[in-house]
């Protein structure tokens, strides 16, 4: 007997005939969908069968599942690399498995799970995302031996998340310690990604590296033209902004390294120069994970995400190695006339816990770079679970005050970036409690596929309340650094930044499996001159966005004739500038000034236009068929009821 079924694991049977009718209805659904699928929709087939929980390619032993409270045996299916990430390019995606299960031993007696469901033999297929979360399954009852079934699992939850970490098949509801055999006849993934292809085509990336770097005289580089940056009030802006040495508003467009110890190969002058010459970048952010302990290198990915990440202060050579990379990075940026952030990459803890180590770190580098015009210090990347200000000696205000004082005592007047609570998302809480040091700025981080109207409002509220803000890290994917993309929402965020002269840096310079990575997985090109085929959606987005913004800013500078060094040679020149209206409001027109009303309208529009993953998942062509199936099932139930009542 061949049975096709797709059902949920929680089974509430209302009688043999009704159950059979539901199975028939779901069989119809699966068959209709399978019949509709042509070879053009087959994304991958013949997936390799590998060992799974208590089982292998042809069978296993029913034993305790080490990851859950049940007893199973199963196998996994090897996921093609093209389906491990970037699943947001698909409109729909499904896993289809045909398997014959035999020689299994049903449970003796009546046994129930924690939900009160009676345990009976089943076979199911399942999926999880790249962090081994978001577990979903589709199952089928085993009522014959042997029994061949075809099961289909909707992978829509992973389209929304953007990643697929594990798929497999398991048998459950059998005697503990008994053996079970299976023969997997076919495994395939079907889907439709036409919409994603169209999106790629609309990217209009104009990116053609010549293979040679541009020779730019030091005085013509960004640092050469604008000098040391600072924070100042400027007419026309509702909050203090970054300004250059002439007190003109200046915006940083940056790229951020991943953790130095994991992707050190990109810290070199050739890579930085490609960012400068072809990507429209004027800022490099060097992320130095700050954790003191033994969590180092590849071991990070095996740790729980609740633990600290990083390894600057690990015993042995890591500290010296990171110091070498930091100094190479800062000097390469200086040689190229680019700005650089040295980022003490606190992640998910109170930075006061490492105050002693942070103090030593910034004493060293503030002293080393006190005379450099291009260096900026970020003293805590994403502290979490720590209030900005509560009057104690253990809040972020206290920490940032202490570290800023350390930097000033070393003779550096560089900009200091202060992290905010909850992964630097609560920048609005800084209002009313700014540091006394006026050359400090406060960071807001966002990931456009996770953060929409509510966190966006925190940014605009902070600005409206006079808080100087920098987005020292953002991504065009989900907050995990992986998952789906949302470039439209990224545009909304950066539009607000551009209108308010808020600087930003995108995560991350790497070739990892994550969607935040700039380069395709395992691409072995590290010193620049990357071509379009080397790039991911993240890097293509920032190249286009940054170059467009660079042209816009340069045109505005030329149009408004903003003050230059020649304008400041003497008091007489400054008075002449005033007579010619070259100071005051005219110098602030680089970016159109939004009123508070304009900001509110932007947030409202962003909220109205956002389509959540859940809403997208709801647009399913299967809904009418499911309704028909339910009608059939209900009708069958009515028939059963009438027959029992004799009517």
CA atoms in the 13 A half-sphere facing the CB of 633: 21
CA nearest neighbour of 360 among 416, 394, 312: 312
User: What whole-number distance in Å separates Cα of residue 246 and Cα of residue 540?
Assistant: 33
Cβ burial, residue 190 (10 Å; 0-12/13-18/19+): buried
Candidates 378, 382, 429, 514; catalytic one:
382
Contact 165, 128 (CB under 8 A): yes
> Scanning the structure block, which residue is given the tokens 């190249």?
543
Active site residue 473: yes
Candidates 161, 473, 514, 590; catalytic one:
473
- Which residues does residue 256 pair with via DSSP β-bridges, in sequence order? 285, 507
CA angle in degrees (0–180, nearest 5) for 196-202-205 = 115
End-to-end CA distance of the chain: 34
What's the gap between Cα 238 and its chain centre?
30
**Residue 437: helix, strand or coil by DSSP?**
coil
- Supply φ then ψ for residue 512, to 5 degrees: -75, 180
CA nearest neighbour of 35 among 152, 170, 154, 136: 152
User: What whole-number distance in Å separates Cα of residue 561 and Cα of residue 559?
Assistant: 6
**CB under 8 Å to 393, separation ≥6 — which residues?**
none
User: What whole-number distance in Å separates Cα of residue 175 and Cα of residue 104?
Assistant: 8
User: What whole-number distance in Å separates Cα of residue 459 and Cα of residue 499?
Assistant: 13
User: What whole-number distance in Å separates Cα of residue 235 and Cα of residue 501?
Assistant: 12
What are the Cα distances from residue 525, in Å, to 257, 535, 542?
A: 15, 11, 19
User: Hey, which residues are catalytic here?
Assistant: 382, 473
């Amino acid at each position: 007997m061949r049975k096709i079924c797709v059902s949920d694991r929680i089974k509430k049977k209302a009688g043999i005939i009704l159950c059979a009718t539901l199975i028939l209805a779901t069989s119809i659904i699966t068959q209709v969908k399978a019949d509709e699928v042509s070879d053009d929709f087959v994304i991958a087939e013949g997936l390799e069968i590998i060992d799974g929980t208590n089982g292998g390619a042809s069978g296993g032993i029913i034993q305790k599942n080490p990851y859950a409270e049940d007893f199973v045996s199963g196998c996994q299916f090897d996921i093609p690399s093209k389906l491990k990430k970037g699943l947001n390019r698909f409109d729909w995606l499904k896993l289809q498995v045909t398997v014959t299960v035999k020689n299994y031993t049903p449970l003796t007696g009546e046994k129930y799970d924690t939900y009160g469901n009676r345990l009976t033999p089943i076979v199911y297929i399942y999926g999880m995302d790249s962090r081994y979360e978001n577990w979903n399954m589709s199952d089928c009852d085993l009522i014959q031996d042997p029994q061949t079934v075809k099961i289909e699992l909707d992978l829509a939850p992973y389209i929304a998340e953007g990643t697929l970490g594990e798929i497999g098949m398991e048998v459950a509801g059998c005697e503990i310690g008994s053996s079970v055999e299976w023969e997997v006849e076919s495994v395939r993934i079907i889907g439709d990604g036409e919409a994603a292809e169209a999106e790629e085509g609309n990217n209009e990336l104009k990116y053609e590296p010549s293979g040679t770097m541009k020779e730019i005289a030091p005085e013509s580089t960004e640092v050469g033209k604008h000098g040391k940056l600072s924070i100042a009030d400027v007419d026309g802006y509702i909050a203090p902004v970054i300004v250059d040495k002439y007190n003109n508003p200046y915006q940083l467009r940056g790229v951020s390294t991943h953790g130095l110890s994991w992707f050190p190969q990109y810290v070199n002058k050739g890579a930085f120069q490609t960012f400068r010459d072809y990507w429209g970048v004027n800022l490099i952010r060097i992320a130095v994970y700050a954790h003191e302990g033994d969590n180092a290198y590849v071991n990070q990915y095996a740790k729980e995400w609740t633990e600290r990440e990083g390894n600057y202060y690990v015993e042995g050579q890591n500290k010296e190695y990171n110091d070498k990379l930091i100094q190479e990075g800062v000097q390469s940026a200086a040689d190229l006339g680019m700005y650089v952030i040295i980022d003490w990459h606190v992640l998910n803890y109170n930075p006061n816990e490492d105050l002693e180590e942070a103090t030593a770190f910034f004493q060293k580098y503030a002293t080393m770079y006190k005379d450099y015009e291009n260096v900026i210090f970020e003293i805590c990347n994403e502290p979490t679970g720590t209030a900005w200000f509560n009057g104690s000696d253990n809040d972020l205000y206290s920490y940032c005050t202490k570290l800023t004082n350390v930097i000033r005592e070393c003779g550096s007047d560089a900009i200091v970036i202060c992290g905010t609570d909850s992964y630097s998302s609560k920048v609005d809480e800084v209002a009313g409690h700014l540091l006394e040091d006026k050359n400090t700025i406060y960071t807001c981080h966002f990931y456009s596929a996770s953060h929409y109207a509510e966190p966006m409002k925190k940014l605009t509220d902070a600005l409206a309340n006079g808080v100087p803000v920098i987005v020292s890290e953002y991504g065009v994917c989900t907050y995990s650094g992986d998952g789906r993309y949302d470039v439209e929402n990224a545009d909304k965020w950066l539009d607000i930044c551009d209108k308010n002269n808020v600087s930003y840096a995108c995560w991350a310079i790497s070739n990892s499996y994550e969607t935040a990575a700039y380069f395709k997985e395992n691409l072995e090109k590290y010193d620049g001159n990357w071509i379009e085929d080397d790039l991911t959606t993240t890097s293509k987005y920032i190249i286009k966005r940054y170059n467009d913004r660079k042209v816009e800013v340069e045109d505005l500078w030329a149009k408004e004739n903003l003050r230059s060094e020649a304008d400041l040679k003497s008091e007489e020149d400054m008075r002449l500038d005033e007579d010619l209206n070259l100071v005051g409001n005219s110098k602030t027109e680089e970016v159109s000034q939004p009123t508070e009303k304009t900001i509110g309208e932007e947030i409202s529009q962003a909220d109205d236009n956002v389509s959540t993953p859940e809403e997208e998942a709801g647009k399913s062509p299967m809904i009418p068929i499911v309704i028909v199936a339910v009608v059939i099932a209900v009708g069958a139930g009515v028939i059963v009821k009438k027959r029992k009542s004799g009517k």
